[in-house]
C-alpha cells in the first residue's frame, strides 16, 4: 500500500544567506533576518548572527534548531575557555573549535552552513568558511546559505582575490576600505533578495575593528 499518512524528517531548511568580508583592519559579517520553511515565512526578524567572543562572530544558516544547538554548544565551550585561560578565545582558535564540533557529528550532522568572521591576533580581518561536516578554510571573503550561489560570483568579480596557489602566499584580505565593504555587502544582499525567495526582510551587519563591535541594519524586500 502506498503511504497515506504524514511522514517526518529530522531536518528542515530554514533558508537565509550569510556573508563575511575581511579587510586589513576590520571584518564585516552580515546575514538577513528571514526564517522560512518551504514556501512559508515563519518570521521576518530572526537573527542568524551570534557573537561568540570579542573578536569572533558567527553567521549561520540552514536548520534553525541545529544552528541554535551549535551556538549554545560553542557559547558553553567559550565560557569554560574563559574560566581556564582568563581571556577571550581568538578567532582562529574558535575556527578550529567550530570545525571539530561539526566533525564530531559527522554521522548525524548539524545541518548548519557557517561563516565565521573576526580579527586575528594582529588585528587583521579574518574569515573562515565551512561545510556542514567541518571542512574549513581561511579566506578573504565568503558567503554561505540559500543566496550564496548568487552572491559568491558577484564577490569574486568585485574583489578579485589572489589565487591560493600563488607562491609565496599572497594575503587574502580585500583591498576595500571598511565603508566600501559595508556598501558592497548591502549591494549583494539587495541583489540576492531579488531572486532568492529565502533571503529578505532585513539585513543585519556586524562590523568588527580596533574600536570594537558595531551593528547596522538595512531593510530588504519583504516579498
Q: Which residues contribute to the site for other proteins (CB under 8 A)? A: 5-12, 14, 35, 37, 40, 42-43, 45-46, 63-65, 68-69, 108
Distance in Å, CB of 49 to other proteins, minimum: 15
Between 66 and 178, whose beta carbon lies closer to other proteins? 66
SS3 145: strand
Distance in Å, CB of 109 to other proteins, minimum: 12
Strand partners, 20: 29, 142
Strand partners, 21: 28, 141
Between 11 and 104, whose beta carbon lies closer to other proteins? 11
- Which of 25-62 are b and which e, b meaning 16 or more Cβ less than 10 Å from the residue's Cβ? bbbbbbbbbbbbeeeebeeeebebbbbbbbbbbbbbbb
Between 3 and 160, whose beta carbon lies closer to other proteins? 3
Between 1 and 6, whose beta carbon lies closer to other proteins? 6
Distance in Å, CB of 110 to other proteins, minimum: 11
* Residue 163: all three cell numbers together: 589565487
Between 43 and 213, whose beta carbon lies closer to other proteins? 43
Distance in Å, CB of 46 to other proteins, minimum: 5
Cα end-to-end span (Å), the chain? 41
Distance in Å, CB of 64 to other proteins, minimum: 5
Between 35 and 53, whose beta carbon lies closer to other proteins? 35
Please answer whether residues 18 and 189 qualify as being in contact, where contact means their C-beta atoms are separated by less than 8 angstroms: no
Order of strands, sheet of 125-130, starting from the edge strand that comes earlier in the sequence: 49-53, 56-62, 112-119, 125-130, 136-139
Please tell me the distance from the alpha carbon of residue 206 to that of residue 113, in angstroms, as a whole number. 18
Distance in Å, CB of 134 to other proteins, minimum: 19
Amino acid at each position: 500500500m502506498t503511504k497515506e499518512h504524514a511522514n517526518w524528517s529530522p531536518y528542515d531548511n530554514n533558508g537565509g544567506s550569510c556573508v563575511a568580508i575581511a579587510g586589513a583592519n576590520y571584518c564585516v559579517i552580515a546575514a538577513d533576518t528571514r526564517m522560512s520553511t518551504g514556501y512559508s515565512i515563519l518570521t521576518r526578524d530572526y537573527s542568524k548572527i551570534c557573537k561568540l567572543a570579542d573578536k569572533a562572530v558567527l553567521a549561520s544558516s540552514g536548520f534553525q534548531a541545529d544552528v541554535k544547538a551549535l551556538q549554545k554548544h560553542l557559547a558553553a565551550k567559550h565560557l569554560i575557555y574563559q574560566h581556564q585561560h582568563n581571556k577571550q578565545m581568538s578567532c582562529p582558535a574558535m575556527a578550529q573549535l567550530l570545525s571539530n564540533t561539526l566533525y564530531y557529528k559527522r554521522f548525524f550532522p548539524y545541518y548548519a552552513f557557517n561563516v565565521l568572521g573576526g580579527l586575528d591576533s594582529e588585528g587583521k580581518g579574518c574569515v573562515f568558511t565551512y561545510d556542514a561536516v567541518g571542512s574549513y578554510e581561511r579566506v578573504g571573503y565568503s558567503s554561505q546559505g540559500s543566496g550564496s550561489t548568487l552572491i559568491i560570483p558577484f564577490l569574486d568579480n568585485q574583489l578579485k582575490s589572489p589565487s591560493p596557489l600563488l607562491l609565496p602566499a599572497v594575503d587574502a584580505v580585500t583591498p576595500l576600505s571598511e565603508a566600501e565593504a559595508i556598501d558592497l555587502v548591502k549591494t549583494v544582499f539587495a541583489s540576492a533578495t531579488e531572486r532568492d525567495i529565502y533571503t529578505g526582510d532585513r539585513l543585519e551587519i556586524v562590523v568588527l575593528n580596533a574600536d570594537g563591535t558595531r551593528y547596522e541594519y538595512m531593510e530588504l524586500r519583504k516579498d
